[in-house]
A and B are shown apart, each in its own frame.
Chain A
Amino acid sequence: MKDMYPKNGRVILHVDMNSFYASVEMAYDPSLKGKPLAIAGNPEERRGIIVTCSYEARKFGVKTTMPLWEAKKLCPNLIVKKPDFERYRAASMGMFELLNQFSKLVEPVSIDEGYVDITDSHELGSPLEIAEQIQKQLIRQLDLPCSIGIAPNKFLAKMASDMKKPLGITVLRKRDIPTVLWPMEAGEMHGVGKKTAEKLKNIGVHTIADLAKANEIQLKSLLGINGIRLKERANGVDNRLVDPDAISEFKSIGNSTTLPKDISNQQELFKVLDRLAEKVSVRLKRKKVMATTLSITIRYKDRHTITRSKKLLNPVSTQDEILKMAKQIFVSHWTGHPVRLLGITGTDLVENDQAVKQLDLFSYEKDAKKEPLINTVSKLKEKFGAHIIEQASNLSNDKKQQIGTETSFNKDFLQVEKMKKQDD
């Protein structure tokens, strides 16, 4: 079977679940199958924005991020369900577990997609056979459809998985690039958003072929280093490895929520901040990090959005500390106008064991009192290893966890899964 694999180079799969949330709901309740189904933020409230929808609903023109009322207009028989993240998380875990049986090199990208490096999996079959097996087993075991791209690198695999949906398997070889990839519009390329596509149009780059042949100096001045990278990708070059640990390289932790109605009462807004602070705190603790910078996002009724941040003297991770700082930043920047959305984000994250706290002349006694205890703990750690003892407040209560909040999805649950694996 080895001759089906390249001598040099790699074989990468990109597995992309088809309308994941909707498919999970259908797997739980088969009576939904074949019907137009949409998952929306919260059907009764304004935050009812389509998170995802089934292919049957798409036929009516229903799209992700569309407001619920608009979707109902297009498709009056649309079945709307609230997201059940607990469910999706379980399904996602099942899916990654299955992928792990084909290779140890599985890199989750989000709840419903991931890369699998099967270069060394030739004993299990040819790349195409492996992809077929994955697709079949996902259907048989989890009742979930997916599309798979097979290519020599991540970028091409991602592009390939997008080409046939649902339930597609697409092979994209380097030699297919001029015929398959190049005729596509630059805006369809993974990594090219709306704004970038517009910028590219301004310099006469319309198709991926144009991009592949574009002037590097011009690209660099237009898009910076990313311009060069995009040109490389357009030529099928992408040297990124499939990294199972990539998920843990996070830079910020934040949560935001759209309010059920516009609010201008400070006390109510503080309550919202409190809930957000709790969520951010739980996530920080789960990742065993603290935030050195805190920022607040405020979106007003007129959709005008501001983000203001503050560098902290001491990194924070507890709900109280986060709330206290968040309130401070909020109060000094809030105009008093009705607020539509609030968010709290912690950045400049430091690992707990790297974090330090500058003591305060008027309150150091509180910390100093714990000194004998801390000394004992550090002696224990020296003797028995760093994990022998931990502060209870640093442990997050996983049972309570949801994998997402109303408006922000996060990858933390993958972290949890990985930690469990390490414990096994």
Chain B
Amino acid sequence: MRFIIQRDRLVQSVQDVMKAVTSRTTIPILTGIKIVATNEGVTLTGSDSDISIESYIPKEEAGDEIVEIKQTGSIVLQAKFFSEIVKKLPTDFVEMEVQNQLQVVIRSGKSEFNLNGLDPEEYPRLPQVEEENAFEIPTDLLKALVRQTVFAVSTSETRPVLTGVNWKVENGELICIATDSHRLALRKAKIEIETAHNYNVVIPGKSLNELSKILDDNNELVEIVITENQVLFKAKHLLFFSRLLEGNYPDTSRLIPAESKTEVIVNTKDFLHAIDRASLLAREGRNNVVRLATLESKGIEISSNTPEIGKVIEELVAQSIDGEELKISFSAKYVMDALKTLEGHEIKISFTGAMRPFLIRPLNDDSLLQLILPVRTY
């Protein structure tokens, strides 16, 4: 194997596949990055066996030569060293050559590294994914779906299935749900799907976070293929495989209240900032709890009281308040996390009682819903 490659492109690809590489793996060869040179270009692969990422660098793009292939072949290099080396090489071009079986020479300008490689034949094969029943969504929508849900996954392993995001495809609609059992995020989107196939899978939250980091912000289409135990995201020059979580995701549809007793419409930013201010004192106390009370005069009162530190009260004018009066306490963090995912100018908050979940939604938009469980005070 021997090729000369633009350093920028190599660095970018290495960085992308590094997202899947971990030093803590039981399979030693997975601490490496696999590099394959063909007559068409160079492919890099990183994997931790849960996530696998393949990044492709074509020989040329838009008439610009990116790689000059001198000899095809393949090698696996220690990711830790290789990624640091390519980042710091002195010139814009890098030459890589495999000598005497597993010895790799990396040249750039007057710098030359000799690195011990690993046998590419030992590198595990990527999952074979049947590309039937694929559907496509624009990158920016995919990133929004992830951003608006993944923060709500559980970080505790007590219920492993909750560390993932539930993806359901039904009747041409994709529904993403995440919950750590204290809050729940739900986002829907229409998709183009040819078959009438339905899916119900759970994608690890970590995989979606990594995917989101790698994808650029554009509206190019990402192809998504779901199989029994894998999901594949295909973007331009990029394949992202993730294992799916086993186990049944709880049916959350019946847990989302359909009716409400108190409805408040309020400016998103004003509300977020008021909670943020109230949480300044709450944060020091336990559980980060703030209190919300409806006022008779079309307003709401946000307050927090930590006896050792002090208290804060703030009144906020609501666009409207309908229904019963209410006093409720909740985690400021959960509500702020939820509010940060909402794009609209105004939000509707629907309460069904001080001890029951409440919903935050953008006004006149049913595609996004954030549910939060309050805290019980004694």
A364 CB contact (under 8 Å) in B307, B331, B373: B373
Query: A19–B113 Cα gap in the complex (Å)?
Result: 76
Q: Mark A79-112, 1 if CB is under 8 A from B, else 0.
A: 0000000000000000000000000000000000
Query: A368–B373 Cα gap in the complex (Å)?
Result: 11
A356 CB contact (under 8 Å) in B353, B354, B375: B375
Main secondary structure of the interface of A (DSSP, over half): mixed
Query: Does B164 sit within 8 A of A, measured CB to CB?
Result: no
Query: A313–B357 Cα gap in the complex (Å)?
Result: 18
The answer on a CB contact under 8 Å between B378 and A361 is no
Most B CB contacts (10 A, CB to CB) among A292, A348, A350, A364 go to: A364
Residues of B close to A361: CB separation below 8 A: 179, 181-184, 252, 255, 357, 371, 373
Residues of A close to B286: CB separation below 8 A: 292, 315, 348, 350, 354-356
The answer on a CB contact under 8 Å between A357 and B356 is no
B355 CB contact (under 8 Å) in A292, A314, A364: A364
A358 CB contact (under 8 Å) in B255, B354, B373, B378: B373
**A315-B286, A371-B353 known; A359-B184 Cβ under 8 A:** no
A398 to chain B, nearest CB (A): 22
Chain B residue at minimal CB-CB distance from A362 = B181
Chain A residue at minimal CB-CB distance from B354 = A371
The answer on a CB contact under 8 Å between B289 and A356 is yes
A360 CB contact (under 8 Å) in B353, B356, B373, B377: B373
Query: A368–B252 Cα gap in the complex (Å)?
Result: 18
Residues of A close to B331: CB separation below 8 A: 358
Query: Does A353 sit within 8 A of B, measured CB to CB?
Result: yes
Q: Mark B354-378, 1 if CB is under 8 A from A, else 0.
A: 1111000000000000010111111
Query: A292–B353 Cα gap in the complex (Å)?
Result: 26
B378 CB contact (under 8 Å) in A313, A356, A359, A360: A356
**A361-B357, A364-B357 known; A356-B377 Cβ under 8 A:** yes
Query: Does B329 sit within 8 A of A, measured CB to CB?
Result: yes
Query: Does B310 sit within 8 A of A, measured CB to CB?
Result: no
Residues of B close to A292: CB separation below 8 A: 286
Query: Does A352 sit within 8 A of B, measured CB to CB?
Result: yes
The answer on a CB contact under 8 Å between B373 and A359 is yes
Kindly identify, within residues 311 to 360 of chain A, every residue whose CB is under 8 Å from any CB belonging to chain B.
313-315, 348, 350, 352-360
B313 to chain A, nearest CB (A): 18
**A315-B286, A367-B355, A368-B353 known; A353-B378 Cβ under 8 A:** yes
The answer on a CB contact under 8 Å between A356 and B329 is yes
Chain B residue at minimal CB-CB distance from A314 = B287
A25 to chain B, nearest CB (A): 43
Residues of B close to A374: CB separation below 8 A: 355
Query: Does B28 sit within 8 A of A, measured CB to CB?
Result: no
A interface list, Cβ under 8 A from B: 292, 313-315, 348, 350, 352-362, 364, 367-368, 370-371, 374
Can you name 13 A-B residue pairings with CB atoms under 8 Å? Answer: A292-B286, A314-B287, A348-B286, A355-B377, A356-B286, A357-B375, A358-B373, A360-B181, A361-B371, A361-B373, A362-B255, A371-B354, A371-B355
B interface list, Cβ under 8 A from A: 179, 181-184, 250, 252, 255, 285-287, 289, 307, 329, 331, 353-357, 371, 373-378
- A-B CB proximity, top 9 nearest: A359-B373, A368-B355, A356-B375, A357-B376, A371-B355, A361-B181, A360-B181, A358-B375, A367-B355
